[in-house]
């Protein structure tokens, strides 16, 4: 996939850093990936959107391919709207089977969505929104189609940064490092890692991971959202988002203080 296929590359715009400032929140498009499926990408996406919305930004969220629905028939963007409130949402394709999009498309005959289409949607939305978040399906290299197109192609085509959402506990270091290494190899910027669901009673591995995850990710720990956050209502969720996300997203999360609270660091 080259930049010509998407038509254009969105240039991240950075605001000047000041003492307290949000350094990169002026980036227009962010890709939210994860170490796998069910790690909390949608909750993190909702939290970033909620904070941006609360600061007056117009936010759009793109779900590139929705494969499988919750038992109540809802998809990720229903969750985003419930948690983040007034955001524009675009689901580009829906498959009913909870599978990789390429597999679900092959089995159902429903058309695939291409990285160029996803990038194009993000570019269009960026004309009328301050922030566009793109969530994939599962982890970074899950295929959209049988040509092997993935979310990595979308991030590369757009030239925009990626946030890695990771699990808290044992096993996350390898998956995070694999994701970060692929991003590095493909020349895609990773801004850092966020724990999608931080346990109420974290075990030893989870606590130690607060120190080791940034190393595996090759970037800072930019947040940790408590487990159960997805069940809150909009106002409560906003406060959790503020506490759980770094100042880079307009929140108050301090990784050193957080680690200290768990006797790490």
Ligand X SMILES: C[C@H](N)[C@H](N)CCCCCC(=O)O
Site residues, ligand ATP (CB under 6 A): 34, 37-43, 76, 137-138, 196-197, 225, 227-231
**Closer to ligand X by Cβ: residue 82 or 94:** 94
Q: Residues near 23 by Cβ (< 8 Å), separated by ≥ 6?
A: 14, 15, 17, 247, 248
Question: Minimum distance between the CB of residue 43 and ligand ATP, rounded to whole angstroms?
Answer: 4
Report the alpha-carbon distance of residue 245 to residue 213 in Å, rounded: 16
Report the alpha-carbon distance of residue 94 to residue 44 in Å, rounded: 21
32 in Cβ contact with 134 (< 8 Å): yes
**Closer to ligand X by Cβ: residue 197 or 246:** 197
Q: Single out the residue of 60, 76, 77, 163 in contact with Mg ion (rule: CB under 5 A).
A: 76
Residues 83-102 that bind ligand X (CB under 6 A): 98, 100
Active site residue 260: no
- Residue numbering of the annotated binding site: 38-43, 76, 135-138, 196-197, 226-228
3-state secondary structure of 132: strand
Containing H/E element for 193?
Answer: strand 190-198
- Residue numbering of the annotated binding site for Mg(2+): 42, 76, 135
Residues 33-52 that bind Mg ion (CB under 5 A): 41-42
**Closer to ligand X by Cβ: residue 142 or 183:** 142
**Closer to ligand ATP by Cβ: residue 6 or 197:** 197
Containing H/E element for 134?
Answer: strand 131-135
Containing H/E element for 223?
Answer: strand 221-226
3-state secondary structure of 34: strand
Which residue in 25, 45, 60, 63 is the catalytic one? 63
3-state secondary structure of 159: coil
Contact footprint for ligand X (CB under 6 A)? 37, 67-68, 98, 100, 137-139, 142
Catalytic residues: 63
């Amino acid at each position: 996939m080259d930049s010509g296929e998407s038509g254009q590359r969105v240039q991240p715009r950075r605001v000047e850093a000041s003492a307290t400032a949000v350094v990169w929140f002026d980036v227009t498009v962010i890709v939210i990936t994860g170490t796998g499926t069910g790690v909390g990408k949608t909750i993190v996406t909702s939290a970033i959107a909620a904070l941006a919305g609360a600061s007056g930004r117009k936010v759009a969220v793109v779900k590139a391919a929705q494969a499988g629905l919750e038992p109540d028939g809802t998809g990720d963007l229903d969750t985003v709207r419930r948690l983040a409130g007034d955001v524009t949402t675009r689901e580009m394709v829906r498959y009913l089977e909870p599978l990789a999009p390429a597999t679900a498309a092959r089995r159902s005959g429903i058309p695939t969505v291409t990285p160029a289409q996803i990038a194009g949607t993000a570019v269009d939305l960026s004309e009328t929104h301050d922030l566009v978040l793109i969530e994939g399906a599962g982890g970074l290299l899950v295929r959209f189609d049988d040509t092997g197109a993935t979310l990595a192609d979308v991030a590369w085509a757009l030239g925009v940064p990626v946030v890695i959402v990771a699990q808290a506990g044992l096993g996350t270091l390898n998956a995070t490092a694999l994701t970060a290494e692929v991003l590095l190899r493909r020349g895609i910027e990773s801004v850092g890692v966020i724990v999608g669901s931080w346990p109420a009673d974290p075990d030893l591995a989870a606590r130690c991971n607060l120190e080791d995850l940034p190393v595996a990710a090759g970037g800072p720990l930019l947040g940790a959202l408590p487990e159960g956050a997805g069940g809150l209502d909009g106002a409560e969720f906003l406060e959790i988002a503020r506490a759980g996300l770094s100042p880079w997203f307009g929140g108050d999360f301090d990784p050193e203080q957080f680690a200290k609270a768990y006797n790490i660091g």
